Each structure stands twice: as structure tokens, then as C-alpha cells.
A and B are shown apart, each in its own frame.
Chain A
Amino acid sequence: MPKRTDIKSVLIIGAGPIIIGQACEFDYSGAQACKALKAEGFRVILVNSNPATIMTDPLLADATYIEPIHWKSIEKIIDKERPNALLPTMGGQTGLNTALTLAKEGVLKKYNVELIGASREAIDKAEDRELFDKTMKGIGIETPRSGIAHSMEEALSVQESLGFPCIIRPSFTLGGSGGGVAYNIQEFKEICEKGLDLSPTTELLIDESLLGWKEYELEVVRDKNDNCIIICSIENLDPMGVHTGDSITVAPAQTLTDKEYQILRDQSFKILREIGVETGGSNVQFGINPENGRVVVIEMNPRVSRSSALASKATGFPIAKVAALLSVGFTLDELQNDITNGLTPASFEPSIDYIVTKIPKFAFEKFPQANDRLTTQMKSVGEVMGIGRTFQESLQKALQSLEEDLNGFESILDDTSNQNETLRYQLTFPGSRRILYVGDAIRLGWNADQLNQLTGIDFWFLQQIIDLVDEENILQDMKLQEIDFHKMLNLKQKGFADHRIAKLTKSTAQDVRDLRKELGVMPSFKRVDTCAAEFATETAYMYSTYEGECESRPTNNKKVIVLGSGPNRIGQGIEFDYCCVHASFALQEEGYESIMINCNPETVSTDYDTSNRLYFEPITEEKVLDIIDLERPQGVIIQFGGQTPLKLSETLLSNNVTILGTDVDAIDRSEDRERFQSLAHQLNLKQPPNSTVKNLGEALQMSEEIGFPIVVRPSYVLGGRAMELVHTQVELEKYLKEAVEVSDQKPILLDGYLTDAIEVDVDVISDGSDIEIGGILQHIEQAGIHSGDSACSLPPYSLSKKVIQEIESQAKKIAKELNVVGLMNIQFAVQDEDVFIIEVNPRASRTVPFISKCIGESLVKSATKTMVGKTLKDIGFSNELPMNYFFVKEAVLPFDKFPAVDPILGPEMKSTGEVMGIGSSFGEAYAKAQRAANKVFPESGLAFISVKESDKKYLPNLLPMLVEHGFSLIATKGTAHSIKALGYDAQIINKVTEGRPHIVDELLNNRVNLLINTTEGRQSIEDSASIRRTALQNKLFCVTTIFGAFALLEAMSTNSDNWIYNSLQEIN
């Protein structure tokens, strides 16, 4: 039976902001679902708070709401749109949880909305640990021995029956958030306490330890006729104990016999049937005892997931699209497999003739206080995938894709320290780079038995790595010229990068490349076709390897390569994938063949139908040049993938590759300190006083000239790495001695800090002659907070007309001088009425998708068109903002995943994602953005005030507003005096260093509802960190900037019952 005709409109809930555990894989799945359902004639209504997504592009749905994913907001939208059905399985855990709440609150019943894809019962059975356990026992499937606890007492008694180590997982949390492995009673209590708090149902599942067991995941799809298929099996290289999201994983499974694999397959189907997933995709996770093959099921997710995105990219099978169509009544045999041009139906199991390896990417360098050992709580922020004809090739390609200066199994072991001890620790307690320590241990002669014992990694994988290291040892004694055709071919087949071969043979990558060409060892490209070549296909999706036939068959069309942005990381995330996807679309609109190169399996850019051709490859010099050699494109676009493609600009130029858009020299002019200074001089623009210093003496001397406070940072850093605000020479000295290295080669930049300045982000588009402003974003937090972590507003909410005009004129001047073709981002600071230029980036910025959503025009599409010769006039570019709307962007931070970290904003970027709030006033937009970021602010109550000296001048404005909202005040001595001096009442409370009871006690006792805590200087920040940490853990609203406090008060003045809900289609 084909699609249901009783459903006319479907509401899809997205996953919201990018957070750890929920990244752009849900943009990929949601975008597929929207496209598929729209194509079938359904009216698609989408709610997602994340403006940086492709799915929220107005063309993908009929009504797109960038609104908080909160049941109250969604109820308003349901009331307005009256959908027949709600598809909750595309938006990750957020989508499922929100759908459940809507059901529990009676909203679905009230408006007669049917849950499709997964029923309420199915979601409950899969997600509620106790119920899941019981359900599995009922069908004779083993789960780990375990117990459920709803209190610490229950937890302790469960623990007694299981022993140590044991695994603790709270119910209904994202990415296993709050879980962990406990080896002793103290750890056990700590984890349980946190877990009970984090779980919305105050529930913990405590499991017997399966540490070291083999871990597998199967991706299953089922339709209403009970047709079941497995899309892919995934084997974790890191055994149980490390969250799947943090594990290196391999597809298809490599170390199971068919008999063993079929047990997992049979059980998966049994589980789906019993849980009641009738239409859609799910994943089921298993643990297998490597000693005897005992199988236990760990969990299942009745929705598409990060793993299903990986499985889709690993096999070419579009799981989310198919799952969406099944949910509206289709059956698998009625759907075609797009990859085989419809030659075969979707009801089959992909067979793949290559190996994929996924490696997660971490951001511990951003959170030095965080515990960087991997556990059952996910901590990675992104991932890469490598495809190769062998495991070795795919593993080494994945390592090269990480952008961590790894060309393969680089040695990372310090030669001075106690090596054996370090290795033993690193192998036993895995961190983000365990795989490299495995390589180092092999170099020191450790054997497979030892490695297996410490890591639990299967012998099969270990032997493969041993073979690679052995190969390196041989290579190290060779000269490059000694490598003959067979040796070179063999090395390349094992995935050795030119750079790695060069390093080992003490030559250069160019030498290796030249030799390869001379020997005729060039890559061939194979297609990802779901069927192991059983059927001839024209799929656009390719990977490189070194053997036999090249299936690429490049066309003679006009073509342009877009370089992607690689793995998600803090500072470079989904925004750049959005840009690359739009570039690809624009190229196709202009009649070009678009060719994408990227290695991030979560993204829309690596979907099989986004570009005309997709090369799933590391974005490295070697691989990119190989593809350029083959494709011979008219040009390459490097503006949209963040820093990743920019790093290749010089290589591309020296290989005579045409780079489209702004000249590469413009990047250097804006990044090189001295050249930038002379640019500013030449254009008569104001810069904060600044200097570049190469040693401590110079630093101290210059600091006097510049004047404190000073922003210090190493030159050429990304995302504000190691950037700090210092207030005294003592602090500056400490920074230079402890935080960074300073030398002639590694100079340090000093910038005068503009106190109380307002920061402004401007995106500019130019075709080389006409220059237009894309949008001017006013930051809410004052200058000094990294722009990626600040909330901001479009239009500016407090800048004068004169200042705005000045900003526009300066931006245009710069664009003209740099001859921008495409996009450019500028950051200004406004102090009083003076405009200072802070930073220029002649490329797409993080704010581009946000602005595009506001003005209803894709900046990237227009920019791409200018790069291939169109003028802004040709395109009809318009930057007009809709009247009567404010758009606020708020950053979303991962502090809840790193409890030891001080959740304070600063010059180094720490946010993982963003949300957008749309309102008829600034306050409303800001309030909605807070709700979207899942930050619940109080309406009244007790407000704790502790502000730094320089903020005290704002108290006369702030206090009456607080009091008017019904807040009473509590403060530490200094601030309390200031408050009282202004004629307001305030309770006095001890600082943490002043004896008890102190402020943290009050927070723990739940007496305080709001914290306004601004601070400066290393020492004061350290002293007050426990206040912010406690506030975060207790979900108290904590503002760490004074301007943030004012914005919050404006938000409080709005009434959420009166918030407007308009779709993008209505707004623009």
C-alpha cells in the first residue's frame, strides 16, 4: 500500500543547537526528511531553533519556524498550523523528548496530531531503561546484569550486587550525559549524584562492567509490512567503556563470523518488533564477550541517530529519507534505491567493498580543567570518516582528516618522560589519542598480547596497526629514491600519506609526489554504490584508493570544486557546512558542475545528492591536488570552509590552481599584523593600540604604552585559542610564563582592551565593484568576549544611526581596498561613538547563515555567483531586513559536559552551537533565544549581585529594574555596600573565601534564583569559579556580563504568552 492519504501535513521537529552528542547529523537527517516528504506532496512544517542548518532554509519546508524547541512554543505552532502528524524521529534525543512532552501535556490529543515514525509507547519502551530491560527479558534477549535506582540509597544497594567497576547511566539524557564508570565507592557516589540530578526522571541504570567487551551497532530499518533490513553493521575499535560517539568505529564489522553476526541481526529485528518501531530507522547496540561470545544488548534508539548518519555515508543508503517515507505509509519495496538509479528497491541490504573508519574529534584544549579521559559520557565535538579499500587505508585517511597535523601514526610520546608508565596509563585509561599511543607502544616493542590486555582492542585491529608501524620502521631506513613502483604502490595501498613517507625518508611531500608521478602510482577513484559493483551505477559519491580501475570518468563540463570544512570543532562547525552546501547549489544554478571535497560524515555537504560530484576525502594538500589533477576544474572555492581550505591556499597557488573570489593575498593582508596595521593607516581607520612582542621585556615595555587592560594572544591562532585579558603587569608576566611560549618565531600580540565597548560583526558581500552590507550584528556581551560566544542582535538594538553609517562606510572601504569578491567579515568595537576596527576576515564567517535567514537571501549563494562572474545587480541582491522584527543569536555552551570547567565567557571561544530567537522587540527575541538555548530565566525571586569594579557604574540603572521585576537582592560585602549606597536593600553573604555560610551554600540550598556575576582578573575569576560552577550544576540562571544582565531584564519584560510565531516564509 502506498503513502497515506489521510495525512496532509507533517510537523518535523529538528534537533536544535549543535551540542556535544547532537551535531549536524540531524541537519542531514532532517533535511532529507523535509525534502522527501515535500516531494511526496505533504505540507511540511518544520521547527528548529538552529539557524545554521540547511533544513531551516525556507525552500526545504512549507513553513519553517526558527523557534525554541520547547513544548510550549511548539504548541503555539501546532495551534496555528494544525498539522495532521508529528514526525519526532529526525531531531535526535531533543526531537523525541519534546514529542513525548507534547504527548504528556495533552497537546497532541488536543489538536489531534498523530505521532508517526515512533509511537509514544515505543519511545518509552526504548528510552526508559527499566522498561527496556524488562522488555528485553520478556523476549529472551540478554541485557547486562543491572539495577535501576531512583535515589542514592537504591544506587548503593544495586552497586553491592554488581561489584566494581560498574557503569552508571542516567535515563533520558543526551549523549549519555552524566554517566560514567566507577572503580570505587567515592567515584560511584559522585557520578550517581550528578546523574540523578541530570536525569529528567531522576533515574539511573547501573550496569555490570562490560569494560573490554567488543561493541557493535546495527542500523535497522523496518516498514509497516514488517519488512526489516540492516543497513550497516558497525564495529567499535575501542571496546566497551568508551561511548560509541567517542570511539573509533569501523564498518562493516570485521571480527565476527557470519553465525555470530546473524545472531545480532536476528536480535535487532526481534527488538524492533517488540519495542514497536513500525516505520523507520533505529540502531541497536550490542556488547560481546571476546572470551566466549556472550551477547548482551546495550541499548536501542527508535530514531535516526549519529550512527545512522554514519551508516548512510558508509554505505550510500539514505536512511533518513527512507525512514521519513516509511513513516507516511510507504513500504520498502515501493521505494527505489536512488544510488542504483532505481534499478533495485530500497528493500535490500547494502553490501560494501571497502572499509570505513570513523574517528571522533575532541576539544579538550579548550577546557584544560576538564577530565580528558574517555568514558561512557560523550565528549567529542565532531568526527571524520576515512574510506579505503582496506582497513589500514581507511584508518590512515581518517587520521589525516582530523586536521591535527597527523599524517598517519605520528609519534606523540615524549622521549624524556617515563615512557612505559605514560604508555601504560594512556593505554589503560583512554584519552583522545589512544590510537597514537598504541603506535608508540609498538615502536617500543610492546606486543599484541600486552596491547590487547591494556586496551581491549581486538587482536585483528592491533595486528593491522603493528603492520603499519613495522612498515614505517622499514621505511625509516630507506631513502626515498630506493622506493620502487611496487613498494610505493604497497605503501599507498596501506594509506600512507605523501607527507608521512616524506617524513620517514627525510624528504619532502613534493619529492614523494614527484616520485609517485614518475613511477606512475596515482590514485584511482571508486564509487560508493551500496551494492559492491553488482549493478552499474552513476552515483556521484567517490573515494580514492590505489588499485586498478579508476571509475571517476570526469566530464568536460564547466566545473568548480568547493573545499569543505572538515570535522566539526569549536570555532568551526555547521555554519561552514551550510556555506559549502549553498555554494554547491549556487554553482549548479549557474550551470557549473559542483564538486565537493569533504570528510565529515555528519554533514549535508557529504550527502550523495548535494553536489554533482562528491569526493569523500581528507582535505589535505595531497588529496585535493590529486582530485584537481583528475578533474581539471575552472576553479576552486576556499572561502566557505572556514580555516580548513584556507590552509591550502598557498599550495593551490603554487600549483597554478585558480582560486575563485577574493585574492589570497587579501587574507595575508588582514592576518599579518604589520600589513593590517598599514592597511588601517592607509584607510584612516582606528585600531585599538596594539603591538607585537617577542619576549617578556618587550611585552612589559609595550604594555605601558598601550595601557591596561590588554588582550594578549599568540599570533595566528584560531577561535581565540589561549587568548586572555590581563589587567596588570603581574598578570601579563604570569601569562607569558605559564600560558604560552613567546619567542622570535612565536610572537605574542598585545591589544589595548576597549573597556565597555560594544562589539559589532559585519558581513559584507562584493562582486569586485559593487559592495553591499549583508548585515550588522550588535553583540550583547561587551568586547572581550569571543564573538562566537556572544549573543547578538540584528538589527543593532542600541547603536546610533551615525555609528551604523560609519560602520557601513568603513566596511565598504575595506572591502574595496582588499578587492573582495565574495564574502568578508569584519569585527568592530564601538566605544562611545568611536568605531574601532578589530579584525577582518575576507571569507565567509560564522554569522553568514544567521544573517541569511534574517534577510531571506542566501549570502553564500550570491557570493558564489559573484565568484563565477555575476554582478550583484545581475543577481538582484537585496539585504533588506523585514520590518518590525528583531533577530537574536545566542551561543550554546558545553559546560554541562565538563563539570570541572569554569563556565565563564571570555576571549576564547567555547560554544558548540547557536540558536536564533525571533521577536517583535529585542526583548522578545532575546527571551526566545534564551528559551531556545534551554536557559530558563526566573521571573522574580532572590538575585545575587557581584559585579567587578568597572561595572559598578551600571548599578544605578540595573538595580531599579531588578527591584521592579520583584527581585530582592543578595550580595557580597563590597557590592552590597555599593547597593546600599544607592538606597537599595541587600542581604550580605560571605564570599567563598570569607567563611561559611557563603554564597555557594546559598546556591546549594536553592535560595538564589538569579546570579549576576561579572568579574575580571585571573585571581578573582579563580576565586569566584565555584559560584558559577554551582549555579550551572543547579541550573540557576547566571549572567557573567553586565550587558547580558540588561538584555535579560528586557527579556523578562515580555510575556511569553504573547510571543509571536511567524514562519520564515511569512517573515520574508
Chain B
Amino acid sequence: MSFPAILVLEDGSVIEGVGFGAKEKAVGEIVFNTSMSGYQEIITDPSYAKQIIAFTHPHIGNTGINDEDNESDGIFASGIVIKDLPSHFSNWRATQSLENFLESKKTIGISNIDTRALTAKLRDHGSIKACISPNNADSLLKANEALDQFDGLEGLDLAKEVSTKESFSWEEGTWPNYAQTKNEKLIVAVDFGVKKNILRLLRKHVGKVKVVNAQISFEELMQLKPDGVFLSNGPGDPEPCNYAIELIQQLLSINMPIFGICLGHQLLALSGGCKTYKMKFGHHGANHPVQDLASKVVYITSQNHGFAVDLSSLPKNIEPTHVSLFDQSLQGIAFKDKPAFSFQGHPEASPGPHELEELFTKFNSMIENNAKKN
């Protein structure tokens, strides 16, 4: 059921809309996402913890929610802002409506918002704090309080909050046929907020997958006898994650093959001595051109990050491999002297283009080459 709701922004603007999903106030940093498909994957992506997502595509909810496309078991975004929630959904795989799903996951959404004007504001002023609230007598007051109490994402280590408590093995390959590799090697995926499709692709292309908590110690990890370590995506600022940086430095020192995505990429870079910074409004969409600096090939990529690695901070032993053609920011690195590389965007797509799936096979061959060398 819909209800009156408001979207309150840090700059003082209050926008009335129609609430749906859970009638619970949400606060977070508001970002816009320009992907025209894949809202189910986006809202279940743990990287969106403490963020409110404004979708630029006007209709969100058309295909409902199905059982196959979740990127985690919950909704991590604080809330969503859209132009229009269709009254009905239609798709042969759908099992419930977006509205029901939000409600069951205790998440609020707000519709009938001029998301284009909102996008222009975020583009011009950068990401800001926002609050969605059911509209009642004291909601504005409460929303402003909530905004005051929220300090934003900078300096916030969210990875350890969303990381799995227990280690687990991952078996499933990718939709629709769930193919798995016959490789026996073991990849340990350090979970900073991992998307399921990454695990599916590791299982499809590389080997067996064990997912572990972000704060795992080097010794514990080595006891698993991994052939390679994967550093996952995740929410928040990479800088405060000292435990992860220490772990990665130890792994680098023993020449463990490493592949990082998104937050994992930033953590690998920090471990190698690079610097990161908070971007103005980040990259959130499925249409971003990224160029492979060696081959000059341009890949259309899925992107979701608010922090980035500073290109000028790369030490001599780390080379840039990819840059964004939207703003020339750094998109990928490789160690010259170590079997380690990482990518800022999302080669696992979901949602988005599949072109960079080849990075998973690249990880696989890197591990195999490394094994041969030793």
C-alpha cells in the first residue's frame, strides 16, 4: 500500500512523494543510478549499504522480483527514490512485486519524484545526505534529526558490518544454466559485501569458492590453503579498513594470486601504497566506457563506486590497466612484480554488460601461471 512520504535532503529541500514498501524512515547518502534495467540486482547489492538510490529510469518495478536475480539475501540500500512505480508487474520469472519485496525487507521507497531534477542536483553539488520518511506530523523534524546524526560515508568502515559472520562454500554457477568449472583449485573470497554474481562467476571460471569474513587473519586464511584470493566489492570508505590492508600486504608478500573488484580494488591499491579519495558523485550505472590501456579496446561496464584510487599516487611497481572514458579516472591496476590485479567497475555485471567477464578467466590463468612458476 502506498502512503504519503517525503524526501528530505541535506540542503534543506523537502520533496513530497508517494511512499511504498516499509513505512520506516531511512537515512543515507543519496546517489543516482543510470542503469535502465536491473533494479533487483541493484537494491540487493551490499555495496549500497547506507545509501539511498535514485533511479534515473522512470519506471521501476516493471518486472517484479524473481527468485534468481538477488545479489544478496537482503536489501542493503537504505531506501530507493523513483519516478514511477507501475501498478502491476509482468514477467514470466516474477514471483512478487517490488513493493512487497521492499516491505518484506523493511525498506522504504518513494515515488512520484522528479528524479531527473534530483540527478542534476547531485551531478552539480555532489552526493549529499538524504532521508525518506512517511509523511506525518513530526516527520520533517525527525528526518532532520536523522540527517544530523548521520555523518556520511567518509571514514566509515561498512565492510565489516555487512561481511558474513560464518565462512561458507559457494556452489552455484551463473543463470540460466548454472555451469561450474571442473577446476579443483580453491579461491578464498574475502567478503567485504560480496555480490552473489561474483561468486557465481568465480565458481564458473576459476574453481571452488570459500567465502570468509572480512576480518579473517592471515594465518586463518592460509590454513584454508587457497590457490588464489579474491577481494570483494563492498560499501563505504576503504581507508579505515586497516585489517584488510594488513591482510592483503601479507598475501602480497608471499606472492598469493589476488583479484580485487571495486572496494577490493581500492583495498589492493591501498595495500600497494596508493591513495584513495571520495568522488563528487561517483559512478553508478551500466553504460560507462572503460578503456583497456594496452589493447585500446573500450568496454561498456557496470559501475558502482563513490571512492576511487588516485591515478597520480601509483607507485612504480603498480601499473594502471584501465581508465574511465567519462572522467579519465583510474579503473584498473596490476602489480608488475606480483600476481595481483584489480578492477574498479563490476566485471560480474548483474546488472550490466558482460564484456569484462574475461577478467575472471584472466584470474584463473594468472593462478595457473603462478602455480607453474612455483
Contact = CB atoms under 8 A, between A and B. Distances in A.
Given A257-B40, A532-B116, 9 more contacts: A225-B298, A252-B57, A344-B289, A347-B325, A348-B287, A389-B83, A391-B59, A526-B116, A532-B34
Contacts of A448: 88
Interface stretch (B90-98, B248-256, B307-315, B336-344): B90-98
Interface in A641-664: none
A262 B69 CA distance: 13
Contact of B287 (A253, A258, A293, A349): A349
Contacts of B114: 547-549
A1067 to B, nearest CB: 45
Given A293-B93, A351-B285, A532-B56, A258 B354 contact: no
Given A333-B298, A390-B84, A549-B114, A256 B63 contact: yes
Nearest to B287: A349
Contacts of A350: 287
A460 B62 contact: yes
B66 interface: yes
Given A252-B36, A258-B69, A549 B117 contact: yes
Contacts of A459: 88, 90
Interface stretch (A99-107, A533-541, A862-870): A533-541
A531 B289 contact: no
Contacts of B352: 258, 262
A601 to B, nearest CB: 19
B37 interface: yes
A256 B2 CA distance: 25
Interface string B64-97: 0010110000000000000110111111110000
A543 to B, nearest CB: 12
Interface in A328-363: 331-333, 344-345, 347-355
A239 to B, nearest CB: 13
Interface string A629-640: 000000000000
Interface string B192-226: 00000000000000000000000000000000000
Contact of B34 (A260, A389, A531): A531
Given A351-B56, A460-B86, A258 B297 contact: no
B285 A229 contact: no
Nearest to A254: B62
A966 interface: no
A456 to B, nearest CB: 13
28 contacts: A225-B296, A252-B57, A256-B63, A257-B63, A257-B66, A257-B93, A258-B38, A258-B350, A262-B349, A262-B353, A266-B354, A291-B92, A292-B92, A331-B298, A344-B325, A348-B326, A351-B285, A351-B286, A353-B56, A353-B115, A390-B83, A448-B88, A460-B88, A532-B57, A533-B120, A533-B123, A534-B34, A534-B285
Contacts, number: 167
Interface residues of A, number: 56
Contacts of B41: 258
B56 A533 contact: yes
B46 interface: no
A352 B36 contact: yes
A460 B56 contact: no
Interface string B273-291: 0000000000001111101
Interface in B5-35: 32, 34-35
A724 interface: no
Contacts of B175: 259
Interface in A505-538: 526, 531-536
Nearest to B120: A533
A350 B93 CA distance: 27
A157 interface: no
Nearest to B88: A463
Nearest to B296: A225
B119 interface: yes
A347 B324 CA distance: 11
A533 B33 CA distance: 11
A226 interface: yes
Contacts of A535: 123
Contact of A460 (B89, B117, B298): B89
B117 A548 contact: yes
Interface string B326-356: 1000000000000000000000011111100
Nearest to A459: B90
A266 B120 CA distance: 31
A355 B58 contact: yes
B138 interface: no
A322 to B, nearest CB: 13
Contacts of A997: none
A467 B93 CA distance: 24
A349 B123 CA distance: 19
A422 interface: no
Interface in A855-897: none
Contact of B116 (A253, A266, A290, A533): A533
B124 interface: yes
Interface of B: 32, 34-38, 40-41, 56-59, 62-63, 66, 68-69, 83-84, 86-93, 114-117, 119-120, 123-124, 175-176, 285-289, 291, 296-298, 300, 325-326, 349-354
A260 B350 CA distance: 11
A390 B59 contact: yes
A261 interface: yes
A809 interface: no
Contacts of A389: 58, 83-84, 116
A226 B297 contact: yes
Contact of B37 (A227, A258, A291): A258
B172 to A, nearest CB: 14
Nearest to B84: A390
Given A225-B296, A531-B34, A534-B32, A351 B287 contact: yes
A293 B92 contact: yes
Given A344-B325, A351-B35, A351-B287, A257 B56 contact: no
Contacts of A536: 120, 123-124
A678 interface: no
Contacts of B353: 262, 265, 349
Nearest to B55: A353
B58 A353 contact: yes
A458 interface: yes
A193 B21 CA distance: 59
A958 B90 CA distance: 68
Contacts of B86: 460, 463-464
Contacts of B56: 351, 353, 532-534
Contacts of B120: 533, 536, 549
A4 to B, nearest CB: 17
Contacts of B289: 333, 344-345, 347-348
Contact of A290 (B37, B69, B92, B285): B92
Q: Which 10 interchain pairs have the tightest Cβ spacing?
A: A258-B38, A548-B114, A258-B351, A532-B56, A460-B90, A349-B287, A258-B37, A463-B88, A459-B90, A351-B34
Nearest to B83: A389
Interface string A1045-1057: 0000000000000
Contact of A333 (B93, B291, B351): B291
Nearest to B65: A257
B296 A534 contact: no
Interface in A249-285: 252-262, 265-266
B90 A353 contact: no
A352 to B, nearest CB: 7
B123 A255 contact: no
Given A256-B37, A261-B37, A262-B349, A534 B62 contact: no
A403 B175 CA distance: 47
Contacts of B91: 255-257, 260
Contacts of A355: 58-59
Contacts of A549: 114, 116-117, 120
Nearest to B37: A258
A787 to B, nearest CB: 46
